[in-house]
Structure 1
Amino acid sequence: MKKIGILGGTFNPPHIGHLIIANEVGMAAGLDEVWFMPNQEPPHKEKSAGAEDRDRLAMLQLATKGNRLFKIQSIELERPGPSYTADTMDIIKKEYPKDQFYFIIGADMVEYLPKWHRIDELLKKVTFIGVERPGYSMETEYEIMSVDVPEINISSSMVRSRLRKGETVNYLVPEEVVRYIRENQLYGP
């Protein structure tokens, strides 16, 4: 039985904050793998403009290469419509019935848990691991694990904004991802 953490998001683009969270949670929780799971349509927000699904996957592959803990799970990109975690976990649990799953979320999503689709069923399938985020509370009525990670206040929207303005994103995004963004003229002016 493997202990697998899942970090979902748009990863549009993936940045150093995503990597730090995945690595820190993986080590603190003793996970065997951390899956980066890009979603198709996050139900709680509009899909961000910018990169196509194939570009987001390519950038994730570049960002995560070299870390044996990191894997990419593209299941949510392979199905149409909103990416409800409960639906995704139904599929994953059928495919990996013996593994134990941990869903990694930021404090913004901890506050949002009561609104998650089929939350009570989902809590039987995964253990949530909450990561603190500036300006959000970790208090919830649901049982979650909490992992302390270095505070890294980087967001994909901030990275996209800087790129649109022609500003640097060095050290915010892995170098290989910056190169991919430039070569494929993503997010730029």
Structure 2
Amino acid sequence: MKKIGLFGGTFDPPHYGHLLMANEVKAALSLDEIWFIPNRIPPHKQDEEHSGSHHRMNMLKLAIEGHQEFHTEKIELERQGPSFTYDTMVLLKERHPDKKFYFIIGADMIEYLPNWHMIDELVSILQFVGVKRHGYKTKSPYPIIEVEAPQFEVSSTMLRERFASGYPTDYLLPEKVKTYIEEKHLYGTE
């Protein structure tokens, strides 16, 4: 049975922090693949505006280019409304009954797990993997495999702000993603 790591998020834009987390979890748990799942409307960020889903998917494809075990999955972009992980997992389990799924979350989401939609049902169909991060608690009433990863303090919010202000973004995200952002004039670039 193939072991698949699932990494959901807005990826607006994807950056080296995402890739680092995915790679560390893949290695720590000997996963076969990592599937990046950009969400249409994250339930915990419904009021935020995001780049169009086609831009986020294109940037994600550029970010993982050359990583044979990294793939994109557009299941949440194909549905309307908030991207609840439970709904996604029901569909993925139906489509891939031969795979075991590990859902990767950052330490900030570990604390938020009790608020997830249908969390009790969700933990029965997947294994959560929490990536430790300084300043966040990793205790949870739910079963979580904890993975240590080098700290790389970058966020999509910080990158959007840097692009908007013209501040450097070198070494924070793949060059092909940066070029795409500039060519498409995303985040206030000219």
Q: Percent of counterpart pairs with the same letter?
A: 52
Counterpart Cα distance in 1 of 2:47 and 2:99 = 30
Greater displacement, 92-101 / 127-136: 127-136
Give CA-to-partner distance per residue, 1:131-177, whole Å, 9 cap, x none. 01232110111111011000111110000000000111111010000
Alignment of 1:37 with 2:37, yes or no, is yes
Give CA-to-partner distance per residue, 1:61-102, whole Å, 9 cap, x none. 000010111000010011000010001000000000111000
Residue in structure 2 matched with residue 51 of structure 1 by the alignment: 51
Residue in structure 1 matched with residue 96 of structure 2 by the alignment: 96
Counterpart Cα distance in 2 of 1:47 and 1:60 = 22
Contact conserved, 1:43 with 1:84, CA < 8 A, in 2?
yes
Unaligned runs of 5+ in 2: none
Residue in structure 2 matched with residue 141 of structure 1 by the alignment: 141
Q: Which amino acid aligns with 1:27?
A: A
Residue in structure 1 matched with residue 17 of structure 2 by the alignment: 17
Alignment of 1:171 with 2:171, yes or no, is yes
Q: Which amino acid aligns with 1:176?
A: K
Residue in structure 1 matched with residue 126 of structure 2 by the alignment: 126
Query: Offset at 1:187?
Result: 0.4
Give CA-to-partner distance per residue, 1:45-65, whole Å, 9 cap, x none. 135434211110000000001
Contact conserved, 1:50 with 1:187, CA < 8 A, in 2?
no
Counterpart Cα distance in 2 of 1:105 and 1:50 = 20
Counterpart Cα distance in 1 of 2:153 and 2:140 = 22
Q: State TM-score, norm by structure 2.
A: 0.97
Contact conserved, 1:38 with 1:57, CA < 8 A, in 2?
yes
Counterpart Cα distance in 2 of 1:126 and 1:75 = 17
Query: Offset at 1:188?
Result: 1.9
Alignment of 1:181 with 2:157, yes or no, is no
Counterpart Cα distance in 1 of 2:74 and 2:22 = 17
Aligned pairs for 1:72-87 within 5 A: 72-87=72-87
Contact conserved, 2:2 with 2:99, CA < 8 A, in 1?
yes
Unaligned runs of 5+ in 1: none
Counterpart Cα distance in 2 of 1:16 and 1:79 = 27
Count how many residue pairs are aligned between Structure 1 and Structure 2: 189
Counterpart Cα distance in 2 of 1:153 and 1:48 = 21
Q: State TM-score, norm by structure 1.
A: 0.97
CA RMSD of aligned residues (A): 1.0
